[in-house]
Amino acid sequence: MTLRIALADDQALLRSGLAALLRLENDLEVVAEAATCAEALDAVRETRPDVLLLDVQMPPGESADGTVGPEDGLGVAERLREDGGPTRIIVLTTFGRAGYLRRTLEAGADGFMVKDAPVERLVDAIRRVHQGLRVVDPELAAQSLAAGPNPLTAKETEVLRAASAGGTTTDIAARVFLSEGTVRNHISSAIGKLGVTNRAEAVRTASDSGWI
């Protein structure tokens, strides 16, 4: 049986190189390629591949009907899970961080691998997820477990997520519909819980751990 594969990555050279490698396998057929999140959604909905290899950091782009795509690959995974289609999803990323792993699994993907993994391992992952298994880079899995449960409250998480977009306390307060004093309190509490010294470090630590 031939497995039908779709590739979504905004780096054309990497995407075409990976497609060429996969086509060397007798049981794999690359049926679609995409460079944006919108194109990835369109490609999967049109070609119904068995497995989608999906980059995390892609531009939203626009569909043929002008619809703007999700902000990143994880948004694509979430949309496809909402569609309820049969396509299995493996997220590929340059950023081998536990936070991406946690968010990937929450988005409903079936596998998570870093882009510098040997192609033999990737091919094996494709076959395994098609069989209904979940494939996760073992080192990232260990990092994710080491990070432990999220110590932040829902409001602290919301405020740090808003802070990750940058801006002043006033800007953040406007985004989350809270007073500036309340925002400062939540940020201060988060800084203490995460054992860091400032807002930027709190955002980075929470992001790396998959909590925002």
Neighbours of 148 (CB within 10 A): 8
pLDDT, average across residues 63-67: 82
What pLDDT is stored for residue 170 in this prediction? 93
pLDDT tens-digit profile of 151-194?
899 899 999 989 988 889 999 999 999 999 999 999 999 999 99
What pLDDT is stored for residue 97 in this prediction? 65
Number of domains in the chain: 2
Specify whether 123 is located in the same domain as 27. Answer: yes
Quick check: 150 pLDDT over 90? no
pLDDT, average across residues 199-203: 93
What pLDDT is stored for residue 71 in this prediction? 85
DSSP summary character for residue 69? P
**pLDDT class for 148, splitting at 50, 70, 90?**
low
What pLDDT is stored for residue 89 in this prediction? 96
Is the pTM higher than 0.85? Answer: no
Specify whether 62 is located in the same domain as 81. Answer: yes
pLDDT, average across residues 87-106: 78
pLDDT tens-digit profile of 7-24?
999 999 999 999 999 999
Tell me the residue type at 190.
A
Window from 9-23, 126-140, 144-158, 190-204 with minimum mean pLDDT: 144-158
Q: Print the domain residue range for 163.
A: 154-208
**pLDDT class for 127, splitting at 50, 70, 90?**
very high
From the list 207, 209, 212, 162, the residue with the least C-alpha distance to 184 is 162
* Residue 182 belongs to domain with CATH number: 1.10.10.10
**pLDDT class for 92, splitting at 50, 70, 90?**
confident
Specify whether 52 is located in the same domain as 98. Answer: yes
99 close to 203: Cβ distance less than 8 angstroms: no
DSSP sequence for 11-64: -HHHHHHHHHHHTTSTTEEEEEEESSHHHHHHHHHHH--SEEEEESS----B-T
Specify whether 79 is located in the same domain as 166. Answer: no
What pLDDT is stored for residue 101 in this prediction? 75
* Residue 114 belongs to domain with CATH number: 3.40.50.2300
Coil/strand/helix, residue 92: strand
pLDDT, average across residues 76-92: 92
